[in-house]
A and B are shown apart, each in its own frame.
Chain A
Amino acid sequence: MLRTGKWVALTCVALLTLVGFAALSYWQWERAQRDMIANQPVVPVDQMFQASGSLPSVNYGQRVEATGTFDRKHQLLVRRDASSFVVVTPLIRASAPAVAIARGTVASPTDPAIDLVPSGQVTISGTVQPLDGDPGGVSTLPAGQVGQLTAASIGVTPMLAAWVAQAPSQTGLAETSVAYGPAAGSGLRVQNVTYAIQWVLFALCVVYFWWRLLRDDLNDQAQRNDEMHEPPLEQPTGAGPATSQHGASKVTQSEPDPTRKKVY
């Protein structure tokens, strides 16, 4: 007999499990992405430099922080294209060289958010990026704008030979796209990616075993029916009540049971 109640319950459990496993898979997928950034510790920016003052390329994109006050007089815009200007403001520190902070990006050089510079002592975190090379020649850009970010273009000394892309960017400014993100070299966290895949596979297992339980149950029932009725079972096409009239005379008493689902 295929018991309807049992199969409704089993199917509900299987569906709930599927939803749960899908959520767990998504959670691991999110972790795989989140950890790729969060795994990197935030270190003081000065630790990124060699004794000579240069920034080794292995440190490009590292998460760093620096504390100081912004010097708005030396702020400039780095023009990336006609609709992308990076707002760079030097952060002056008491007993350490200044740091060029890219506070964010604007679409227009007249955006009022450019001049909303935080005052007082602030701690800025972001990723450390290499300065551009000196372009040489004479700039044709308006005053306060540069095409390449170099130590000389900011005009503050002493200054670290790097810039920090503030992340997340300052409120009102868009994120600054960087050549060396925190993901550089690390990528998605493999462990969580495989866990995400495995939860999907577990979900497929649930479907498979649900089907297998159903098949076993049906096979059992078919065998029991075969044992009960030596000649092949007469298959009524109508519903329960119609067969029960004939059933009293023809079919054995144990067979029709209107509360149970009839499959074979």
Chain B
Amino acid sequence: MAGPTAESVAGALKRYRVMAYVVGIVLIIFVAAIIAKNVFHLIDSDSYLAIAHGWLFMIYLLCALDLCLRMRWSLPRILFVGIAGTIPFLSFVAENRVMSWVRAELGSA
């Protein structure tokens, strides 16, 4: 069986974690911008952040799928990790979960 090993997923795990943090932080800034625009009318446009998040989410999704496939995870788990990149704060939760799943399945990674 070509199951996942700590070595075979180490790179994918690192890439996923970096993108989870980047996307998570951009999402929070994006939410702040939406509030600043629509509630306080401090800024005119939040579309730059929307575009930035769009592209970063693409990279996040590629990294997340790569990791999930290397780990041979089930579809519900893959969907959870993927969608977490679009919901504020959830990407941090997902990153935490992913770390605990990887540790449980591969020992300390």
Seen from chain A, the residues whose Cβ lies within 8 Å of a Cβ on chain B are 189-191, 194-195, 198, 201-202, 205, 209, 212-213, 216, 219-220, 223-224
Asked if A212 contacts B69 (CB within 8 A), the reply is yes
Q: Which residues of B contact A189 (CB under 8 A)?
A: 47
The one of A191, A202, A213, A224 that contacts B69, using a Cβ cutoff of 8 Å? A213
Pick out which of these stretches binds chain A: B30-38, B48-56, B86-94, B97-105.
B48-56
Q: A15: shortest Cβ distance to chain B, in Å? A: 16
Question: Any chain A CB within 8 A of the CB of B65?
Answer: yes
Asked if A190 contacts B69 (CB within 8 A), the reply is no
Cβ contacts B42-70/A at 8 Å (1 or 0 each):
00000100110011001001100100010
Asked if A198 contacts B69 (CB within 8 A), the reply is no
The one of B2, B62, B65 that contacts A216, using a Cβ cutoff of 8 Å? B2
Asked if B65 contacts A205 (CB within 8 A), the reply is yes
For the residues of B in contact with A, the DSSP-based class is: helix
Question: Given A205-B65, A209-B65, A213-B69, is A191 in contact with B2 using a C-beta cutoff of 8 Å?
Answer: no
Please report the C-alpha to C-alpha distance between residue A212 and residue B68 in the assembled complex, in whole angstroms: 12
Q: B55: shortest Cβ distance to chain A, in Å? A: 7
Please report the C-alpha to C-alpha distance between residue A190 and residue B65 in the assembled complex, in whole angstroms: 27
Q: A6: shortest Cβ distance to chain B, in Å? A: 12
The one of B1, B54, B55, B65 that contacts A220, using a Cβ cutoff of 8 Å? B1
Question: What number of A-B contacts does a CB cutoff of 8 Å give?
Answer: 33
Q: A35: shortest Cβ distance to chain B, in Å? A: 11
Please report the C-alpha to C-alpha distance between residue A32 and residue B2 in the assembled complex, in whole angstroms: 46
Seen from chain B, the residues whose Cβ lies within 8 Å of a Cβ on chain A are 1-2, 47, 50-51, 54-55, 58, 61-62, 65, 69, 72
Please report the C-alpha to C-alpha distance between residue A92 and residue B47 in the assembled complex, in whole angstroms: 41
| Smallest Cβ-Cβ distance to B57: which chain A residue | A198
Please report the C-alpha to C-alpha distance between residue A80 and residue B54 in the assembled complex, in whole angstroms: 46
Q: Can you identify 20 A-B contacts, CB atoms within 8 angstroms?
A: A190-B51, A191-B47, A191-B51, A191-B54, A194-B51, A194-B54, A198-B54, A198-B55, A205-B61, A205-B65, A209-B65, A209-B69, A212-B69, A213-B69, A216-B2, A216-B69, A216-B72, A219-B2, A220-B1, A223-B2
Q: A227: shortest Cβ distance to chain B, in Å? A: 9
Q: A63: shortest Cβ distance to chain B, in Å? A: 19
Asked if A205 contacts B2 (CB within 8 A), the reply is no
Given contacts A194-B51, A212-B69, 7 further A-B contacts (CB under 8 A): A190-B47, A194-B55, A202-B58, A202-B61, A216-B2, A220-B2, A223-B2
Please report the C-alpha to C-alpha distance between residue A242 and residue B102 in the assembled complex, in whole angstroms: 46
| Smallest Cβ-Cβ distance to A227: which chain B residue | B1
Please report the C-alpha to C-alpha distance between residue A249 and residue B30 in the assembled complex, in whole angstroms: 68
Q: Which residues of A contact B69 (CB under 8 A)?
A: 209, 212-213, 216
Q: Which residues of B contact A198 (CB under 8 A)?
A: 54-55, 58
Please report the C-alpha to C-alpha distance between residue A220 and residue B2 in the assembled complex, in whole angstroms: 6
Q: Which residues of A contact B72 (CB under 8 A)?
A: 216
